[in-house]
Amino acid sequence: MSGAKEKKRAKKMRNQPASVTLPAEPGPFPDGGSRACPPPGDVRCEQQYHQQKFSNQSSGPSYRKDQYFPKGQNRGERGRGRGGWQGGRQSVSEEIPKYITVSAFAQARAAEISAMLKAVAQKSSNSLVFQTLPRHMRRRAMSHNIKRLPRRLQEIAKKEAEKAVHQKKEQSKTKCRKARRRHINLVAEFNRRQRKNIWLETHIWHAKRFHMVKKWGYCLGDSPTEKCYRACYRAMTNHCLLQDLSYYCCLELSGKENELLKQLARICSIDTGLTFEEACCLSGRFEGSLNLYQADRYPEGMLGPVTFIWKPRGVSENRQLWIWMHPALKQDILRELKAIFQCTEPQDIYIPEPVTTSIQEEKQMDVVLSLGKKRKKEDKEGERAVPVKKIIGDGTRDPFQSYSWISQTTGIVISDRTMEILRYRLIGPLSHSVLTETLKAASLQTEMADSETELNNWWVENCKDSEKVSLHQRQSAIFELLEGISSPSEMPPGTILGLTVGDPRVNLPKKKTKAVPDFEKYQDNDKVRQLYLEGVPVDCAHSFIWDQDICKNVTENKISEQDLNYMRAQLLVPGSHLDLGPRESKIPILLVQQPGKMAGEDLPGWGSGWDIYLPKGWGMAFWIPFIYRGVRVGGLQEALKHSEYQRTPHTPNDFPDCQAGKQFAKELETSLLEKFKRRPPAKRANYVKLGTLSPFICPWGQLTKNWEGRMKASGESLHSPHPECCATEDRSFCDPKAEVVKEASSETGEIEETVGITSSEAVLKADDVTGTQDFGERDESMTMSDFIVLRSEKLLQQLSAWCYPTAGKDRRVRLISRLGQKEMTEDVFLPILMSYPRALVWVKLTLLRKGNPELHAMICIPTEDDLLHLSKDKLFCGPQEPKHRDIFKHKVQKLKEEKKKKKDNTKSLESDPLSVPDKETTEEHEDLILGLWSDVLPDVTSHCSRTLLGYVTRGDFSLAVGCGEALGFVSLTGLLYMLHNQPADKKGLVLLRTPASLQYRFARLNIEV
């Protein structure tokens, strides 16, 4: 036999009783018998037999050759004679015992039978029951249908199925795509997905074309998936860009005008510009914008920027006011409004019912009970199922949370109308052309279209009033005049026009076209000129959108898309105009002009456009017609670029003194730090060597504190009796001076240029730590906050005049005298420093040569040598920062070695008591990251060779001016110091350096008011 056959035979014999042997084998046992069977009648041999049998079973089978072939016997000597295996069979018959002991034999066989039954019952493999069948008996259906198995195996299969259910997690029963794409199933799924992040009405349209992000509790479109960066800029400059701003929050205040103005005056200041009491805004003709502060805490306690609209005065004494704000600012502003108006007790909680967008959906009674089951009209309990309705507007709100608050003392009511009013923005010079082509004024109607429904019943009642009919006709005439205007910037800023329009879906063109102005209406007639100069009359600013009952009626009685398409299919001439007659919906809207860029001298009116306010439920009905007029759609990134080219602060990025701005800065720092850590150390910048202390966040508090310390130290040195302090230089205050010291690196021995701090600056740092109290006679409240942002228009105009770029000293004098500003002397700017020692100023920076400013770039003051070099060489780009020494490198390497040693010798470190201080040092340096400053920040102003003035919050290559532009904040103290010491022809010149570079670039600093 071959070796394989022998192993096969041994495997068979392993499971056989010990008394069964096929061939006769001479063994070492007495009487020439095999060890398989004891001699008959010998009790001792029977006991030895049983012991050997069980010991052999416990030790396991042996596949050694000696087990079957004793020594001195090979394969050819196994009893084969001339008869092959015949001799073996004869020996078996000769060894059969003549008699046995019944009790001992039965006892031995009982153990074998029980072991056999146990082996049969026990599963020896991981295969299922149907997998044990022969292949010709297997069927695919057996895996899920037990009845296809043979009856003898069905019980075992049932047990296996029950066991699998308990072991495995419940799998989601997903339906096929056809079932999931049914309208009712889609609505139910979309409603479920809106529980955490609210969807706008245009969400589905955006999700197919935009990169979506989840911010501020909404799911918003960030940027288009197609390449359209320049195309969006061209749309804002030459045509029209569309944005959905429905995520902006609206708070409605209603009550007596005097009570409203009395309390609202506490949270704003006339020093910053407009207030709620502005006459043109109070009448309802214009939209206003301002910055809100905590009550009676100006200039501290910044809440954020808002826009507001007053409802035009009517018969009632009560006034209505809409305050629109960014969703990141909503909670802080709402909390402050409830505090000043003492609105502690809410009104009756209004539980909004989800509103359907079509009558067909209301009649539909089919619902999806659960995934994987058939749809039924009744649920498991037998009750009638509730129809699945599309969630819109306030249907996304928590029904157990109040959204309206009333003051028991003043009667002021605060209502949250977020998502109740939709808001679209059209940006560009042809936005009015898109409006006039898309929207048509509603036709008059005096009879009801259908007595069963309430469609247009409010419009029929208003059409019976002659005054309201004449008002609608005047509004329509003004709206038609917009087609003869070349750009929205020609209108007075913030003009408001109320209007009632027909269903825009009826006016859809056959194919997508581009709206162009009508040049025949560009003739300069008296009506257009009057509209330029006077704007829209007060009565024409009225709109029915202020009435919540009318908005609810308009939303609930909207004609569905299905009905509208069915009517189009019934037209005799396909593609012809669909005339709905009295069944056409009438929608009240509000048009608000956006003035565009107003600050500065270049690009006046850039980015102007119109805002459209709509009732909820009509989002897509207006969105698609706008798309068909050739507008380009933008997201959050396009809105950021729009404000960047306008050079205005963007919410909440550019408001570091409000809570939302601080939260945004922390989130940005976390994301940038995680991105930095993902790169290996050799593939990322070492910011310590580059001299960048804080590459991921702007330390505004540290910056203003250091400049205040400089001012305090310079003020003390002026009155110091020591001649050494007075004989330094002829500079009045804040004399920063850093010298470049060549130090030898302790590790490499190479000489590196590093920036050292002089002894005088060390004194400033020591004074900086102790504090800066008792400077001047400023209020104690200033020390409560780290810093503020200067927003006083009067002071900003003064600063703008001081840093205005000039070529000669005489011309500057004439310019300042023309603007009515004072010359820059110590008597003028020292009181400003006393009042605002820790203030930031919003500035615009334009690079003189090449360069592309980036986020968190450093704004520095050039030295006299830099300005002298620039005057000699006009192509001089800028100086370079000497390379710094990484003082944390050896600590990072030590921490890395400790971690490696701890990983290799974990057991020895636990047993060794001397390893305790190593653990402490490891915990101390856990926050060390190679390339980042891991200690407390030193004096940020004097850390580099050029004195730090501020930071850039947004910067990029500007397509509007064709060079690099940046926006940011600088210290007011540092700015006044720089302007005071710079020559007249170099006023406003600064240096920019990106965080990951050593190269400085010259830039021009401006303050646009």
Q: What is the pLDDT of residues 798-856, one digit of tens each?
A: 888 888 756 554 455 445 544 566 777 777 888 888 888 899 999 999 998 888 999 99
575: left (phi over 0), alpha (psi -120 to 50) or beta: left
The one-letter amino acid at 167:
Q
Residue 522: pLDDT over 70 = no
The one-character DSSP state at 592 is: E
Q: How far apart are CA 778 and CA 299, in angstroms?
A: 13
Pairing of strands 249-256, 739-744: unpaired
Token duo for residue 604 = 């006046």
pLDDT exceeds cutoff 70 at 151: yes
Instruction: In whole angstroms, give the CA distance from residue 704 to residue 62.
Output: 86
Find the range with the poorest average confidence among 368-372, 751-755, 838-842: 368-372
**d(C-alpha 310, C-alpha 288), whole Å:** 9
pLDDT of residue 728: 36
DSSP H or E run through 970 = strand 963-971
What mean pLDDT comes out for the span 702-725? 69
Cα Rg of the chain (Å, integer): 43
Measure the CA–CA gap between 610 and 434, rounded to whole angstroms. Answer: 10
Task: Judge whether 472 and 544 are in contact, CB under 8 Å.
Answer: no
Which pLDDT value is given to residue 12?
A: 67
What is the structure's pLDDT at 823? 77
pLDDT at 183: 79
Q: Residue 519's pLDDT band (boundaries 50, 70, 90)?
A: low
Question: What DSSP designation does 455 have?
Answer: T
CB 401 within 8 A of CB 351: no
Q: What is the mean pLDDT of residues 361-371?
A: 36
Provide the b/e sequence for 132-163 (b: ≥16 CB within 10 Å): eeeeeeeeeebeeebeebeeebeebbeebeee
CA 861, distance to chain mean position in Å, is 35
Tell me which of 3-12, 61-70, 769-778 is least confident: 769-778
pLDDT at 409 over 90: no
| Phi then psi dihedrals of residue 224, to 5 deg | -65, 155
Instruction: Write out the two tokens for 171.
Output: 């799998």
Max Cα separation, the chain? 141
Average pLDDT, the chain: 77
Predicted confidence band of residue 667 (pLDDT cuts 50, 70, 90): very high
Residue-wise pLDDT tens digits, 40-99:
444 444 555 455 544 444 444 444 444 444 444 444 444 444 444 444 444 445 567 778
Residue 346: band (very low, low, confident or very high) from pLDDT cuts 50, 70, 90:
low
Pairing type for strands 963-971 and 839-847 reads antiparallel
d(CA 922, CA 928): 10
544-569 average pLDDT score: 90
pTM of the predicted model, to two decimals? 0.74
Can you tell me the distance from the alpha carbon of 595 to that of 593, in angstroms, rounded to the nearest whole number?
Answer: 6
Decide if 241 contacts 632 (C-beta within 8 A): yes
Tokens of 184: 């009712």
| Phi and psi at residue 644, to the nearest 5° | -65, -45
> Which residue is listed with tokens 């056809």?
178
* CB 498 within 8 Å of CB 543: yes
The amino acid at 856:
H
Q: How confident is the model at residue 949 (pLDDT cuts 50, 70, 90)?
A: very high
Give every CB contact of residue 252 below 8 A, 6+ residues apart in sequence.
320, 321, 322, 323, 414, 415, 416, 417
Dist CA 252 CA 421 (whole Å): 11
Half-sphere exposure of 899 (CA within 13 A, CB side): 12
Asked if residue 16 has pLDDT above 70, the reply is no
Tokens, residue 154: 């069905």
- Confidence class for position 350, pLDDT limits 50, 70, 90: very low
Question: What would the pLDDT profile of 572-583 be if each residue is shown by its tens digit?
Answer: 888 788 888 888
Pairwise pLDDT comparison (108 vs 377), residue with the higher score: 108
d(CA 368, CA 189): 10
pLDDT of residue 663: 93
Mean pLDDT of 366-388: 41
pLDDT at position 59 is: 43
Proportion of the chain above pLDDT 70, given as a percent:
73
Average confidence (pLDDT) over 283-308? 91
The Cα–Cα gap between 197 and 195 comes to 6
CA–CA gap between residue 932 and residue 929 (Å, rounded) = 6
Least confident of 196-210, 376-390, 678-692, 920-934: 376-390
What's the pLDDT score for residue 1009?
82
Q: CA-to-CA distance for 348 and 346, rounded, in angstroms? A: 7
Above 60 in pLDDT, residue 567?
yes
Q: How far apart are CA 610 and CA 581, in angstroms?
A: 29
Q: How many helices (H) and strands (E) does the chain have?
A: 34, 25
Please compute the mean of the pLDDT values over residues 978-1007 and round it to a whole number: 90
Please check the confidence at residue 39 and state whether its pLDDT lies above 80.
Answer: no
Q: Is the pLDDT of residue 530 over 90?
A: no
User: Cα(849)–Cα(876) distance, rounded to whole angstroms?
Assistant: 9
Of the two residues 363 and 353, the one the predictor is more confident about is 353
Confidence band of 968 (pLDDT split at 50, 70, 90) = very high
Q: Which residue has the higher pLDDT, 19 or 481?
A: 481
What dihedral do alpha carbons 792, 796, 797, 802 form, nearest 10°?
Answer: 150
Q: Average of pLDDT values for 115-132?
A: 77
More confident residue, 640 or 775: 640
Tell me: the pLDDT tens digits for 897-937? 887 778 777 755 455 544 444 555 445 555 788 889 888 88
Task: Report how far residue 63's alpha carbon sits from residue 68's, in angstroms, rounded to the nearest whole number.
Answer: 9
Mean of pLDDT values over 275-294: 90
The C-alpha atoms of residue 255 and residue 81 are separated, in whole angstroms, by 123
